[in-house]
Amino acid sequence: MGQTLKCISPIDGSVYAEREILPREAAFELTQRSRMAQTGWAARPLQERIDLVMAGVAAVGAMNDEIVPELAHMMGRPIRYGGEFGGFNERASHMATIAKDALADIEVGEDEHFKRYIKHVPHGVVLVVAPWNYPYMTAINTVAPALIAGNTVVLKHATQTLLVGERMAQAFHAVGIPEDVFQNAFLDHDTTSELISQRAFNFVNFTGSVGGGRAMERAAAGTFTGVGTELGGKDPGYVMEDADVDAAVDTLIDGAMFNSGQCCCGIERIYVHASLYDAFLEKAIAIVNGYKLGHPLEQDTTIGPMANVRFANEVRSQISDAVAAGAVAHIETMPQDDGGAYLTPQILTQVTHDMRVMREESFGPVVGIMKVSSDAEAIALMNDSNFGLTASLWTADLDRAQSIGDKIETGTVFMNRADYLDPGLCWTGCKDTGRGGGLSVIGYQNLTRPKSYHLKKTTG
């Protein structure tokens, strides 16, 4: 037996799943099969590809009763939240609905002498490297539109959610999507990098860490292979003096703590106008004190363990460093906090941007709250970050939100909501969050290349 990938369950530290890594030669053979299958797949009618993809999505939904506890075992999300099929289906359905218009030829002009137009041509073989925190929804963001556009797809999933790619492949193959058109692959980092550097793929979509994104770009250097990245964030919320404070605190604290804070667009820092600060903080503390930290398979658990002990240890380290530098922690250690993956959610005040917890991605159940006195101060603090994924603005004034939004370095501006991915909008970021864009019409543009036709008619 060769090298293996092991999913260590955060529930008890046991090996929940183990799969053998694909040897180098077999990995190259897999990508060759994908390339050979792509032309035939792209030649199928668009509606046929749409129907097959949506049938595959439905087949994943039919597995939901098995998937939900499986996710709890793999990455710790409580079963009470019911898995990811709602968002998984919503995103795929939207991309299916807009496909005909998004992929239609761009007509430039035709007269008696010339016909001119631009086609959207699939790249070829697309590698999707998906993360563990929302393993189904993040994967389908690219898998569905890539297949619909006529690409073949190789999916490499995170080791922490080792079984997700298998589930998707099983569902998609069962409805008639050919095995070589959509393949799940268990690959190590070195083989993945070599495949990219040898142009085994025509496009790479990566969701994960900044370091992982840099590794993908290094592997693709000089190949001219397109690389799209979404590398997380340090997303801010700003509560203005005219905000609905109850709605703001409910949404922002949920955005900070849901999924044990393991959300790419989770709220990691909150700036509150001085006039609402005390009320906001009081309500926030009450909400978090009401959480039930515990075993994710128990129905009354509202916050489960983090996906891995090392992730929890990083959050503990950020909290400890902040408190040592003068921050105030407001949540007492919960009885279920075992010093390992089970981590007490935390609210910090008296924080500054000199602290790691306000600068580095935490990706855990901790949020720092700061008092501000003006829009200018809040804008400066929101922009004082190496990341730029989303920002959440709370005000009754639409024009004010739009004006502030124009000044924020971010990929998405929310007003009076947070932590939601609208498939009609481009999911994108700036700075260390990465580049490119998924979903929406722009998602199709990134998963195809333009091909121009300038056709001169004969006369006579």
Assess contact for 372 and 261: CB atoms under 8 A: no
Cα 310 to Cα 340: distance, rounded to the nearest angstrom: 8
Stretch (H or E) spanning 271 = strand 267-273
Evaluate whether 125 touches 134 at the Cβ level (below 8 Å). Answer: no
Rounded CA gap, 232 and 429, in Å?
9
The answer, as to whether pTM is greater than 0.85, is yes
The domains of the chain, with CATH numbers, are 4-231+434-456 (3.40.605.10), 235-422 (3.40.309.10)
Query: From start to end of 307-365, where are the E strands?
Result: 328-329, 346-349
The Cα–Cα gap between 256 and 266 comes to: 5
In order of 72, 77, 284, 305, 322, the CA distances from 298 in angstroms are: 10, 11, 25, 12, 33
- Of the CA atoms within 13 Å of residue 113, those in its CB half-sphere come to 0
Using alpha carbons, list the distances in angstroms from residue 127 to 61, 191, 199, 438. Answer: 23, 13, 11, 14
Q: Which residues are catalytic?
A: 230, 264
Low-confidence stretches of the chain (pLDDT < 70) are 1, 460
Q: Which residue has the tokens 């503990």?
A: 316
Q: Which amino acid is at 420?
A: Y
Tens digits of residue pLDDT in 314-364: 999 999 999 999 999 999 999 999 999 999 999 999 999 999 999 999 999
Helix, strand, coil shares of the chain as percentages rounded to 5?
Answer: 45, 20, 35
Per-residue model confidence (pLDDT) at position 402: 98
Question: How wide is the angle at C-alpha 232 spanned by C-alphas 303 and 132, nearest 5°?
Answer: 55
pLDDT at 1: 58
